[in-house]
A and B are shown apart, each in its own frame.
Chain A
Amino acid sequence: MNKNKYIKGVLKLLRCSKQQKKIIQLDLENDIDMALKNGESLEEIIQRMGTPEAVAKEFNENMGVSLRRSYKKIIGIVIGIVVVLGLGIFFFIRSIMPEYQELGTSGLFKQDTVEQQMEQVILDVSHLDTQAILKKCDEKMKETMTESLLKESVSSLGELGNYQRITSQRYVEVKQNNDVCVVGEVVALYELRSVTYTITFNQNYELMGLYMK
C-alpha cells in the first residue's frame, strides 16, 4: 500500500464536504511526510494510524458537529437571500404603487395655477370647446380622446344650464415612478345641477385624465 492509495482509501469513506476532504487530505499527507522524515517506515505509520476504515470512522464520528455547522451556514445564506429578495420585492412594489401627498409637497404645482388650469378645463368642457380640450391633452390622452367621446360624456350628464361657479375643490399630488401629477376633484355648479369633475394634470399641465359625473 503506498501513501496516496492509503489516503485515497480514507477520503473515500469520509462523510463530509469536498472542501473538508481536501483539507483532510492535505493534513494527512503532511503528517505522513513528516513521520517518514522522522524515520518511521510507511508500514509503521499505517500500523500506528490504523486501517483506512478505522481512520475514516474516527473522523466521521468526531466531525458530526462540523457537518451541522455547514448546514447552519447554508440555512444562514438561504435566509439572507430570502430577506434580500423580500426587501427587493417590497421596494419594487412600493415604487410601483402611487404615493399620495399634499398639493405643494413636490414644489412642482402651485395652488393658484392648479386652480386656474382646472377651472379652465371645466369651462372648456362646459362650452364644448373640444379643440381646446384636445390641445391640452397629453400624448396618451390624445390617442383616446375624440370630439365625439367628449360630446357624449357631456350630454350623458343631462341638461346642465349655464355654468355658474366652482363650489368645492380638493387637490392631491400623486407620485408614481418618479413622475408627479396633480389630481383635482372639483365640483362645478350649473343652473340645473352640480357636476363633479376629476381632472388629472401632469407636470406640464397637460391633461392626463378627465372624468365627470
Chain B
Amino acid sequence: MNERYERQLKKGILEILVLQLLSKEQMYGYQMILCMKEKSHGMFEMKEGTLYPILYRLEDDELVKSQWTQPQKKELSRKYYCLTEKGKKQLEELKRLWKDFSLFVNEILEENEHE
C-alpha cells in the first residue's frame, strides 16, 4: 500500500493518541512507543522521527510539558512528558470531534457499499 496515504490517514490521529496516552500517566518517549505498539496490536508502530516531532509540537502549543527526573544514585536522568491542563481540555475537545468525524465517515463509506 502506498505509504504516503497511510501516513496521511494516521496524521492528526496520532496526536490525539499521544495526548490520550499521557492523560493516563506521564511517560518517557520510549515508553510511549512501546505502549502504542502494544495497544494498537502493532498497527501504530511509531518511530522516534514521528513521535518526537509530535511531542515538540504539542510542547510548543503548551499541551504537554517535558521534565527530567531527579535520578537516585546511579540511575540515569530520564526525560518524561506529561499533559498540561490546556492539553487535557484540548484532548476532550478532540475526542468529541473524533466521535463526530468517525460517525460521518463511516456513514459516507457505508453509503457507497449499498450502491
Q: A30-B30, A30-B79, A69-B60 are in contact. Are A57 and B49 (CB under 8 A)?
A: yes
Task: Determine if B62 is an interface residue (Cβ-Cβ < 8 Å).
Answer: no
**CB distance A66 to B53 under 8 Å?**
yes
Q: A34-B78, A50-B47 are in contact. Are A24 and B57 (CB under 8 A)?
A: no
Binary contact readout A47-86 vs B (1 if CB under 8 angstroms, 0 otherwise): 0011000111111111101100100000000000000000
Q: Which residues of A sit under 8 angstroms from B98, Cβ to Cβ?
A: none
Q: Which residues of B sit under 8 angstroms from A145, Cβ to Cβ?
A: none
11 residue pairs of the A-B complex, CB under 8 angstroms, read A30-B78, A30-B79, A31-B48, A38-B30, A49-B48, A55-B49, A58-B48, A59-B48, A59-B52, A60-B49, A66-B60
Q: What is the size category of the interface that chain B forms with chain A?
A: 10 to 19
> Which A residues have a C-beta under 8 Å from some C-beta of B?
20, 23-24, 26-28, 30-31, 33-35, 37-38, 49-50, 54-63, 65-66, 69
Q: Which residues B70-97 have CB closer than 8 A to chain A? A: 76, 78-79
Those 8 A-B pairs whose CB atoms lie nearest each other, nearest first? A58-B49, A62-B53, A59-B49, A34-B30, A31-B30, A63-B53, A30-B79, A58-B47
Q: A27-B79, A33-B76, A34-B78 are in contact. Are A62 and B50 (CB under 8 A)?
A: yes
CB distance from A22 to the nearest CB of B (A): 12
**CB distance A56 to B49 under 8 Å?**
yes
Q: Which residues of B sit under 8 angstroms from A20, Cβ to Cβ?
A: 56
Q: Which residues of A sit under 8 angstroms from B31, Cβ to Cβ?
A: 34
Number of A-B contacts (CB under 8 A): 61
Q: Which residues of A sit under 8 angstroms from B44, Cβ to Cβ?
A: none
Complex Cα gap A50–B49 (Å)? 10
**CB distance A26 to B49 under 8 Å?**
no
Closest to B49 in A: A58
CB distance from B53 to the nearest CB of A (A): 4
Q: Which residues of B sit under 8 angstroms from A61, Cβ to Cβ?
A: 49
**CB distance B56 to A23 under 8 Å?**
yes
CB distance from A105 to the nearest CB of B (A): 51
**CB distance B30 to A65 under 8 Å?**
no
Closest to A31 in B: B30
**CB distance A55 to B48 under 8 Å?**
yes
**CB distance A49 to B60 under 8 Å?**
no
